[in-house]
Structure 1
Amino acid sequence: MNSVMLIGRILFAFMFVASGLNHLTKAEAMVGYATYKKVPAPKLANALSGILMVLGGLSVILGVYADL
């Protein structure tokens, strides 16, 4: 059962890691969309959200606070 939970955790976290990497690699398009939606400081918001998504996904994969 532990291996099933690990596989599920990795698949779940992959969405966050992939989305965060998209924020960082396609920054110009994401900043354009954030500007259109009137997000304050769109470049900073895009960079921070991308970094947080990648770190959050990695923490899920590594099982940080998994017992909560």
Structure 2
Amino acid sequence: MDAVMKIYEDLKKDLEKAGFVINNENGISNSIIIALSKAYGEGKEQGKKLGRIKTLEKIERKVLEMS
């Protein structure tokens, strides 16, 4: 799963530099993670779990910033 997340982070940076919005609000972030998980043979469900974890981590960071 580390390989999937490394590729995802690199891809996200490159796409954002090009002007694309990559986040969970538009669903693109989770779609990329699911596709990468499938490509690595880890399955759609594992990709969904990882996407949810990343979303929760982002929410947690925002809550901490607001405190």
- Under TM normalisation by the shorter chain, which class is it? 0.3 to 0.5
Q: Higher relative contact order at CA 8 Å, sep ≥6: structure 1 or structure 2?
A: 1
Give the number of the structure whose alpha-carbon radius of gyration is greater. Answer: 1
TM-score (norm 2): 0.41
Please report the TM-score for the alignment, with normalisation by the length of structure 1: 0.40
